[in-house]
């Protein structure tokens, strides 16, 4: 009966996680598209990563239940409400072959600034009023990079071309000459200021420099800390040796597997990083839990009718887990699913007794990897949250440590 229940819960969790991956394709934000004829149509846009948005725009017009996918060139551009990100169709040379992208329009003026995200990097394009253009690639450059020298020379060459394009503004050229531009990732705010300073210096007709790059804090992942406590039920199979004595006082050893089970109290802390532009309302979670000292015992009969009492005393257990969690819906109380990987470290002693005589003793430190799945509910508490979820953990046997299974009820509070 217990195994049937376990299978049902695991099946439900797997189905829920599968549903998560399907629903992950929609992260709706209000906004509008601009057609090639210049018309504006309001509706909802799927707010995904910058790289995804550079290739397509998933749009649902107001009052429509069916969405439509637009590729660069199908429309002039699109923008999110609240002075949000603004993308326009542009033909740009990102990787050696010019093609159409939805480029993020960051600054419009005597010098335009665009950005295209591709393959984990960002490509900034400076376009002067006369159409002349220069590219600057934001790629991590460190001495540990196998192509460090090549990447550094490429960055220097690109910066030189940009400064030549900005030559009519001494302030902008000086901004581009800062050493920080030759290493690490480029600052969006810094590049916006370079282009804005260029406009101030060269503009003679009183035109306004439009900065479309909104507050970059709203584009960063949100971090939340949490604390939690749980009551867990462990079952563990441990291979080991038991000593025995025959009637003629000959001694020997026998190998057996001892199954322990019992309850354990745990407490821990965690950090969640929002990834809603990849999975709607989803978070990456990192947790560290500690279980204080506890003891399990069991009578076993390995052979010949002899009865042994096996004891396992955990001096402490630490569990590190990394995974994903996702709530569903927009109510005060909503369901959630979670899952990921774990690493368990145990500090324990094991003893075996025949009657009152201890016939075996061992003290071991062991660790083993595993997985976890969970289902539960989340309740909003002002700007915080409270959660209650049931979890199943499966520790995989590693280098003879034996298999571990854990069921737990966990209560969390997000700060």
Q: What pLDDT is attached to residue 31?
A: 92
Buried b (16+ CB within 10 A) or exposed e, 67-79: beebebebbbbbb
pLDDT along the chain (415 residues), means of 10: 46 49 63 93 90 93 88 94 90 90 92 90 91 84 63 82 90 77 67 88 80 62 86 71 43 54 84 80 88 68 60 77 86 87 78 64 71 89 86 74 77 88
Tokens 């107001």 found at: 62
Residues β-bridged to residue 256: 240
CB 175, CB 190: distance < 8 Å? yes
Q: What pLDDT is attached to residue 26?
A: 65
Count Cβ atoms below 10 Å from residue 191 Cβ, excluding itself.
Answer: 24
Sorted by where each begins, the domain ranges of the chain are 83-218, 223-414
Q: Which of 368, 409, 367, 372 has its CA nearest to residue 393? A: 372
Q: How many residues does the chain have?
A: 415
43 HSE (CA, 13 A, CB side): 19
Q: What pLDDT is attached to residue 392?
A: 87
CA–CA dist 411, 388 (Å, integer): 5
Q: Which of 321, 372, 313 has its CA nearest to residue 344? A: 321
CB 392, CB 13: distance < 8 Å? yes
Q: What are the angstrom distances between the C-alpha of 177 and each of 96, 163, 180?
A: 26, 8, 8
Range list of β-strands (E), 57-97? 57-61, 68-70, 77-80, 86-92
Q: What pLDDT is attached to residue 113?
A: 94
- Report the CATH number of the 223-414 domain: 2.40.160
DSSP 8-state class, residue 83: T
DSSP labels, 283-310: EEEEEEEEE--EEEEEEE--STT--EEE
Phi and psi for 38 in degrees, rounded to 5?
95, 5
Tokens 């440590």 found at: 401
Which structure tokens are listed for 307? Answer: 């009865």
CA–CA dist 166, 200 (Å, integer): 12
Buried b (16+ CB within 10 A) or exposed e, 367-402: ebebebbbbbebeeeeeebebebebbbbbeebeebb
Q: What are the angstrom distances between the C-alpha of 247 and each of 18, 244, 300?
A: 61, 10, 20
DSSP labels, 96-148: SS-EEEEEEEEEESSEEEEEEEETTEEEEEEEETTS-EEEEEE----TTSTTH
Q: What pLDDT is attached to residue 226?
A: 92
């Amino acid at each position: 009966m217990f195994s049937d229940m376990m299978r049902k819960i695991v099946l439900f969790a797997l189905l829920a996680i599968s549903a998560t991956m399907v629903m992950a394709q929609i992260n709706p934000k209000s906004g509008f598209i601009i057609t090639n004829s210049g018309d504006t149509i309001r509706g909802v846009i799927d707010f995904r990563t910058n790289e995804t948005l550079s290739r397509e725009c998933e749009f649902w017009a107001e009052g429509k239940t069916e969405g439509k996918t637009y590729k660069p060139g199908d429309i002039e551009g699109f923008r999110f409400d609240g002075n949000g990100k603004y993308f326009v169709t542009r033909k740009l040379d990102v990787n050696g072959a010019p093609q159409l992208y939805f480029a993020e329009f960051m600054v419009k003026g005597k010098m335009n600034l665009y950005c295209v995200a591709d393959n984990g990097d960002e490509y900034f394009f400076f376009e002067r009023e006369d159409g002349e253009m220069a590219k600057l690639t934001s790629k991590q450059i460190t001495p540990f990079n196998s192509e460090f020298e090549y990447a550094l020379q490429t960055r220097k060459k690109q910066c030189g071309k940009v400064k030549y394009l900005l030559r009519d503004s001494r302030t902008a050229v000086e901004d581009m000459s800062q050493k920080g531009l030759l290493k690490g990732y480029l600052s969006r705010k810094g590049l916006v200021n370079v282009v804005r300073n260029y406009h101030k210096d060269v503009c003679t007709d009183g035109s306004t420099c439009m900065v479309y790059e909104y507050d970059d804090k709203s584009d960063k992942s949100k971090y939340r800390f949490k604390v939690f406590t749980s009551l867990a039920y462990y079952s563990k199979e441990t291979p080991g040796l038991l000593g025995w004595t025959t009637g003629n006082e000959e001694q020997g050893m026998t190998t057996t597997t001892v199954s322990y089970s019992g309850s354990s109290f745990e407490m821990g802390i965690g950090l969640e990083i929002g990834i809603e532009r990849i999975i709607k309302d989803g978070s990456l979670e990192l947790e560290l839990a500690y279980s204080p000292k506890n003891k399990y015992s069991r009578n076993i009969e390995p052979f010949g009718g002899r009865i042994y009492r096996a004891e396992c005393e955990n001096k402490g257990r630490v569990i590190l887990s990394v995974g994903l969690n996702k709530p569903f819906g927009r109510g005060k109380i909503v369901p959630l699913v979670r899952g990921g990987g774990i690493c368990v470290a145990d500090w324990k002693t094991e003893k075996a007794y025949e009657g009152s005589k201890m016939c075996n003793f061992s003290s071991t430190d062991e660790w083993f990897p595993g997985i976890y799945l969970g289902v539960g509910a989340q309740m909003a508490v002002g700007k915080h949250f409270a959660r209650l979820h049931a979890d199943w953990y499966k520790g995989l046997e590693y280098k003879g440590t034996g298999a571990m299974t854990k069921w737990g009820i966990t209560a969390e509070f997000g700060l």
